[in-house]
């Protein structure tokens, strides 16, 4: 049963991939001379891509808290695995900051590039300033940016302390930080959403899973008036307190 379901979903996702790649390419061509319109085009269709992808994987998302997030907010969340991207994109319009390795993931890399994902190579310290500058520019243009300040995936049992560098973008842009907690309800320890050391086996497990339920909790926004270390610490405490009390 699991193998047949995986085959059906692979076929469905290939169709989704082709359709949204075509939409992405069309948008880049159509709005080549108008970057602001291109950004609006991308965030609109990126959300639809995520919602369709959640349907393909049968991921059921419940969102709690104040969903009326101000445009140009820095949305930060705990990170468990690849479904986090679909789930958060389905809930919020925004651009992702992803680790550089995502650029090598099959079927996801093309859409990530067309979606103008900001790639961060944390092994190269000289790139940090450039990444912060890109995030700041997106925030100032009125577009939210979504990132995972743990800087790595966890097994879903706890939240590790946040890296503070990227929070500098919110300070420079004078935009609020919105902490978001992700919690999967699959009964597995670690959760099946965790991709561990093998991306391929992780994706196959997701493809074979009949249903995956997740709750996304939007926590109170934090003013950007503080320094980046304070923003990181406040966001971490808010998300971890919510996470450990599930």
CATH at 47: 3.40.1130
The number of folded domains in the chain is: 1
Task: Phi first, then psi: give them for residue 62, nearest 5 degrees.
Answer: -115, 130
Q: Which domain holds residue 227?
A: 2-244
Asked if 31 and 37 count as a contact pair (C-beta separation under 8 A), the reply is: yes
pLDDT at 104: 61
pLDDT in tens, the chain (246 residues): 678 898 999 899 889 888 988 998 898 898 888 888 999 999 999 999 999 999 999 999 999 998 889 999 999 999 988 899 899 999 999 999 877 656 566 556 667 777 888 877 766 666 788 889 999 999 999 999 999 999 888 888 889 999 999 999 999 999 999 999 999 998 777 788 887 767 778 888 888 889 999 999 999 999 987 789 999 999 999 999 999 876
Three-state SS at 103? helix
DSSP track, 130-154:
HHHHHHHHHHHTT--EEE-TTSS--
Determine how many CB atoms are found less than 10 A away from the CB of residue 131.
21
**Distances 162 to 16, 148, 150, 167, 189 between C-alpha atoms, Å:** 34, 8, 5, 10, 22
Residue whose tokens read 């991207």: 85
pLDDT at 144: 96
d(CA 230, CA 9): 43
Q: What share of the chain is helix, strand, coil (3-state, %, to 5)?
A: 50, 15, 35
d(CA 79, CA 194): 9
pLDDT at 197: 67
User: Which tokens hold the place of 180?
Assistant: 């978001």
Task: Phi first, then psi: give them for residue 77, nearest 5 degrees.
Answer: -145, 160
pLDDT at 161: 93
In sequence order, what are the residues at sequence separation of 6 or more whose Cβ sits closer than 8 angstroms to the Cβ of residue 19? none
| Closest to 183 measured CA to CA, from 146, 212, 162 | 212
């Amino acid at each position: 049963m699991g193998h047949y379901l995986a085959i059906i979903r692979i076929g469905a996702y290939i169709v989704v991939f082709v359709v949204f790649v075509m939409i992405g390419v069309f948008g880049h061509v159509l709005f080549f001379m108008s970057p602001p319109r291109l950004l609006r085009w991308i965030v609109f269709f990126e959300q639809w891509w995520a919602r369709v992808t959640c349907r393909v994987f049968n991921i059921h998302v419940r969102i709690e808290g104040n969903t009326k997030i101000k445009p140009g907010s820095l949305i930060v969340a705990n990170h468990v695995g690849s479904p986090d991207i679909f789930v958060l994109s389905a809930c919020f319009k925004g651009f992702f900051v992803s680790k550089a390795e995502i650029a090598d993931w099959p079927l996801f890399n093309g859409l990530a590039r067309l979606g103008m994902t900001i790639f961060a190579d944390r092994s190269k310290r000289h790139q940090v300033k450039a990444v912060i500058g890109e995030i700041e520019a997106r925030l100032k243009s009125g577009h939210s940016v979504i990132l995972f300040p743990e800087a790595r995936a966890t097994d879903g049992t706890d939240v590790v302390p946040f890296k503070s560098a990227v929070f500098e973008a919110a300070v420079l842009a004078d935009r609020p930080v919105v902490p978001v907690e992700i919690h999967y309800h699959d009964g597995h320890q670690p959760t099946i959403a965790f991709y561990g050391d093998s991306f391929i086996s992780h994706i196959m497990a997701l493809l074979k899973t009949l249903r995956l339920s997740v709750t996304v909790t939007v926590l109170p926004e934090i003013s950007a008036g503080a320094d980046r270390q304070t923003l990181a610490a406040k966001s971490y405490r808010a998300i971890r307190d919510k996470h450990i009390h599930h």
